[in-house]
Amino acid sequence: MEWDAKKYNTTHDFVFKYGAGLLELVPKEPKKVLDIGCGTGELTKQMAELGHEVTGIDQSLNMINQAKETYPELIFLQEDILNPSDQIGLYDVAFSNAVFHWIPDQDLLLKNIGEHLNVNGQLICEFGAVGNVQKIREAFGRELNALGVPFEEPFCFTSVENYRILLEKNHFEVVEILEYERPTPLKGGKSGLNEWMEQFYAAELEELSGEQKDKVLENMERDLKSKLWNEDHWEADYRRLRINAVKM
Ligand SMILES: C[S@@+](CC[C@H](N)C(=O)[O-])C[C@H]1O[C@@H](n2cnc3c(N)ncnc32)[C@H](O)[C@@H]1O
C-alpha cells in the first residue's frame, strides 16, 4: 500500500502525537538511533532535537520524500526493514512507532533489527495489540462478507505472551512489555471514521467499485454509531503493545 503522506500528517497526526510518549524510554544521553518506519519523520526530528544521531527508514517513497522535504538536515532512507540494504549500519537503539503491525513476518523483522543493533542495544517500540480497532475491523469484515468479497486482514496484532516468546527467540531480553487500551478520538467530526478507513484500509477499499465503497462506509457508520460515536467525534478502539527490550 502507498501512503498519502500529506493526509497522514494533517488528519492522522494523532499517530505520532501519541508516539511522543514512547520517547521517554529513549536514553537521555546521545545515542545512535534507527527510526524504523519513520513515516513523515516527526518523531525522528524530535529524537534529533534530544541530541541523538538518528536515521529514519521507511519503505514508502511518499513518506520518505515528505520527511526529507520537511527535515532536509536529517538522514532518511527508503528501506524495507524486511530486506535492508548495506546502507543501514549498527545502532544503539532501534525505535519504532505504529509500524510492526503492518509487517507480516515478525520473526524476520526481529532478526533483522537484531542484526542492526550493537550488543546491549535497545529495542523501543509500540504497535497494535491483539483486539486493536476490533469493532472497526469486525464491521468492515461484515460488510465485505455481505458483498461476497474475501477479507484478508492486513494487520498483525499480537499479545504480550506471544511477543515475549518471539523476542526471546530472537535474543532480546524483555525489560518491559505492556498491553493497554487507548481509545483514540478521530479528527473530522462525522467524516472521521471514513477518513480513517480511507487511510488505513486504502488497499482494501481500492478493490471495491465506487458504489460498493460508499455503501460499505455508510453501513459501517450506522453499525458503529452506538459503539464508537462520542458526542461530536468518532473514537477508535485502539489497543497498544509497548516494548522495551535489550539485545543480548
Ligand atoms: C502508521 S505509519 C507510522 C509512521 C511513524 N512511525 C509515526 O509515528 O508517525 C507506519 C509506517 O510504517 C512503514 N512501514 C510499514 N512496513 C514497513 C517495512 N517493512 N519497512 C519499513 N517501513 C515500513 C509505512 O510505510 C508507514 O510509513
Q: Is residue 63 within 6 Å of ligand 1 at its C-beta?
A: yes
Mutating to test ligand 1, I would choose from 42, 57, 59, 85 the residue with most ligand atoms within 8 A of its C-beta, which is 59
Q: Is 59 in the pocket of ligand 1 (CB under 6 A)?
A: yes
**pLDDT at residue 2, as a whole number:** 81
Choosing from 95, 102, 106 the residue with most ligand 1 atoms within 8 A of its CB, the one to mutate for a pocket test is 102
Minimum CA distance residue for ligand 1 atom 4? 39
Nearest CA to ligand 1 atom 10: 99
* Structure confidence by residue, pLDDT tens digits, 160-184: 999 999 999 999 999 999 999 999 9
Regarding the beta carbon of 97 and ligand 1, being less than 6 Å apart is answered yes
pLDDT on residue 30: 98
Q: What confidence score (pLDDT) does residue 4 get?
A: 87
For residue 213, the CA-to-ligand 1 centroid distance in Å is 25
Residue 20 CB less than 6 A away from ligand 1: no
Residue 106, C-alpha cell as written in the block: 515478525
Nearest CA, atom 7, ligand 1: 16
Q: Which residues of the chain have pLDDT under 50?
A: none
Residue 12 pLDDT: 87
For the CA of 80, the closest atom of ligand 1 is 20
Q: pLDDT by residue (tens digit) across 115-162?
A: 999 999 999 999 999 999 999 999 999 999 999 999 888 999 999 999
Ligand 1 neighbour 38 (Cβ under 6 A): yes
Q: SS3 letters for the chain?
A: CCCCHHHHHHHCCHHHHHHHHHHHHCCCCCCEEEEECCCCCHHHHHHHHCCCEEEEEECCHHHHHHHHHHCCCCEEEECCCCCCCCCCCCEEEEEEECCHHHCCCHHHHHHHHHHCEEEEEEEEEEEEECCCCHHHHHHHHHHHHHHCCCCCCCCCCECHHHHHHHHHHCCEEEEEEEEEEEEEECCCHHHHHHHHHHHHCHHHHHCCCHHHHHHHHHHHHHHHHHHHEECCEEEEEEEEEEEEEEEC
Closest residue (by CA) to atom 27 of ligand 1? 39
**Domains of the chain (ranges, CATH numbers):** 5-133+154-187+237-247 (3.40.50.150)
pLDDT of residue 146: 96
